């Protein structure tokens, strides 16, 4: 009995020391990435909705390694347990399978609200669900923030600018969005999510932060998200022609995921409650790439030109992207190659599902 008691005391002590980075026994130090020790005063309880997705899992890594207690909430619509599996079992980490459309009752200090499909094939697959996630889901998270006095950061998007008529786009621009087009479930969902944040701020005193995120790429991104970076990498690695939609004269800005994560954390811990663009402003047109190209019809409501203005983030957060496009692309190409190797045995790469539609005659709009 006494033996058992001492065994459990020693093993608990070793686990605590190992999690706080004091122990370097090979077996123990291999299990989790190193985690800083933060005093109780500095350590925060942080909720990340959509934390098993592409951006959310990198944000989880940063906040865990900084020494915070992180709870990831995800319904695994587009996220994967594999993205956060290296933290499962760590005393500072919790993974909850939960849909944000349902209320959540936990105690937290900060909420990074990322839950929402992000790529066109994923958010157009079930537009009603995308709307519910961005509206009811955001209301639920703001309600939680109000109840526990937490600060909430909304992962908004450059899509709130729609197909912009003003260049470059700074945060004062109200946007140019088609409210009944195929992308509206996402664009308008995010616009109303921003509106909800400011209603809760003004009416209830909830502290909010709004990040308008532009195209982001890096490891763990969805290989079949239908966007230009993943399309081109996958096609190039598989020796297929690169597909360009429309004339190919569209422009986009891209940022590497580690830059975005640093921007999100800076914004959360700043005193800036108005929206902030987060992106690398160097912009490119797909036609600047020399390769065999196949032209396809333009997608409806696809923005023709994106040219972000990030002066606000630079001046007010002291943040700017540091990873050059080429360096980020090389890391991402390595990730895609590894994933393709994993899948080589069954030659299976999941394709995006076609949008859900009821059979029969489409209803007329009045």
Catalytic residue list: 186
Q: Contact between 99 and ligand NAD (CB under 6 A)?
A: yes
Query: Beta strand 255-256 with 216-217: parallel, antiparallel or unpaired?
Result: parallel
Sign of CA dihedral 106, 207, 258, 236: positive
- C-alpha–C-alpha distance, residues 119 and 56, integer Å: 14
Nearest to ligand NAD of 116, 280 (CB atom): 116
Among 37, 89, 95, 24, which Cα is nearest to 65's? 37
Give the residue, chosen from 71, 135, 140, 215, that forms a contact with ligand NAD under the rule CB under 6 A.
215
What does the alpha-carbon distance between residue 324 and residue 41 come to, in Å, rounded to a whole number? Answer: 36
List 32, 45, 50, 161, residue binding ligand NAD (CB under 6 A): 50
Closer CB to ligand NAD, residue 18 or residue 113?
113
- Site stretch for ligand NAD (CB under 6 A), options 51-59, 284-292, 310-318, 324-332: 51-59
Residue 324 CA to residue 256 CA, distance in Å, equals 8
Q: Which of residues 184-213 bind ligand NAD (CB under 6 A)?
A: 213
Query: Residue 351 or 363: which CB sits closer to ligand NAD?
Result: 351
- Position among 60, 78, 110, 138 found at the interface with ligand NAD (CB under 6 A): 78
**Please, what is the minimum distance in Å from the beta carbon of residue 84 to ligand NAD?**
9
Residue that the structure tokens 């009811």 belong to? 136
Q: 3-state DSSP call for residue 236? A: helix
- Give CA torsion, residues 101, 106, 112, 113, to 10 deg: 10
Stretch that binds ligand NAD, among 6-14, 98-106, 294-302, 354-362 (CB under 6 A): 98-106
CB of 56 to ligand NAD, least distance (A): 5
Q: Note whether 160 binds ligand NAD by CB under 6 A.
A: no
Residue 276, Cβ density class (10 Å: 0-12 exposed, 13-18 middle, ≥19 buried):
buried
Distance CA 106, CA 295 (A): 50
> Considering only 52-60, 235-243, 261-269, 311-319, which stretch makes contact with ligand NAD by CB under 6 A?
52-60
Whole-number Å distance between alpha carbons of 285 and 263:
25
What are the residues facing 277 on neighbouring strands? 212
CB of 51 vs ligand NAD, minimal distance in Å: 7
What is the DSSP secondary-structure string of 245-268?
A: ETTS---EE-EEHHHHHHHHHHHH
Examine residue 121 and tell whether it contacts ligand NAD (CB under 6 A): no
Binding residue for ligand NAD (CB under 6 A) from 114, 196, 197, 233?
Answer: 114
Is 155 among the residues that bind ligand NAD (CB under 6 A)?
A: yes
CB-wise, 122 or 280, nearer to ligand NAD? Answer: 122
Examine residue 164 and tell whether it contacts ligand NAD (CB under 6 A).
no
Q: Which of 297, 214, 220 is closest to 263 using CA atoms?
A: 214
Q: Which of residues 297-356 bind ligand NAD (CB under 6 A)?
A: none
User: In the structure encoding, which two tokens stand for residue 213, read together?
Assistant: 């995120």
Provide the minimum distance between the beta carbon of 147 and ligand NAD in the complex, in angstroms, as a whole number.
19
**Would you count residue 74 as binding ligand NAD (CB under 6 A)?**
yes
Give the residues lining the site for ligand NAD (CB under 6 A): 49-50, 52-56, 74-79, 99-101, 114-118, 122, 133, 137, 155, 157, 213, 215-216
């Amino acid at each position: 009995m006494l033996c058992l008691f001492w065994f459990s005391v020693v093993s608990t002590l070793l686990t605590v020391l190992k999690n706080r980075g004091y122990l370097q026994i090979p077996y123990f130090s291999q299990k989790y990435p190193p985690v800083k020790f933060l005093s109780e005063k500095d350590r925060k309880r942080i909720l990340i909705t959509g934390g098993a997705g592409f951006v959310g899992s990198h944000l989880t890594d940063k906040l865990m390694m900084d020494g915070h207690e992180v709870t990831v909430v995800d319904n695994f619509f587009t996220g994967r347990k594999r993205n956060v599996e290296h933290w499962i079992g760590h005393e500072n980490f919790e993974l909850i399978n939960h849909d944000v459309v349902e209320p959540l009752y936990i105690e937290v200090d900060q909420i990074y609200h990322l839950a929402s499909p992000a790529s066109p094939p994923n958010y157009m697959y079930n537009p009603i669900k995308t709307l519910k996630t961005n509206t009811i889901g955001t209301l639920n998270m703001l309600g939680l923030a109000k109840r526990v006095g937490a600060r909430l950061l909304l992962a908004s998007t450059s899509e709130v600018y729609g197909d912009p008529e003003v260049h470059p786009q700074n945060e004062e621009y109200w946007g140019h969005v088609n409210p009944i087009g195929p992308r509206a479930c996402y664009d308008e969902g995010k616009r109303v999510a921003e509106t909800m944040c400011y209603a809760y701020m003004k009416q209830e005193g909830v502290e909010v932060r709004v990040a308008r995120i532009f195209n982001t790429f890096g490891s763990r991104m969805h290989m079949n998200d239908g966007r230009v970076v993943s399309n081109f990498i996958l096609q190039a690695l598989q020796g297929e022609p690169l597909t360009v939609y429309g004339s190919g004269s569209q422009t986009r800005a891209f940022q590497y995921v580690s830059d975005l994560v640093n921007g999100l954390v800076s914004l959360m811990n700043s005193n800036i409650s108005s929206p902030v663009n987060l992106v690398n402003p160097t912009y490119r047109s797909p036609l600047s790439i020399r390769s065999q190209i196949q032209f396809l019809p333009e997608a409806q409501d696809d923005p023709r030109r994106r040219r972000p203005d990030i002066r606000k983030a630079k001046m007010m957060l002291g943040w700017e992207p540091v990873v050059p496009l080429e360096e980020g692309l090389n890391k991402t190409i390595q990730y895609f190659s590894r994933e393709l190797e994993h899948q080589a045995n069954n030659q299976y790469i999941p394709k995006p599902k076609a949008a859900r539609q009821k059979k029969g005659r489409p209803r007329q709009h009045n």
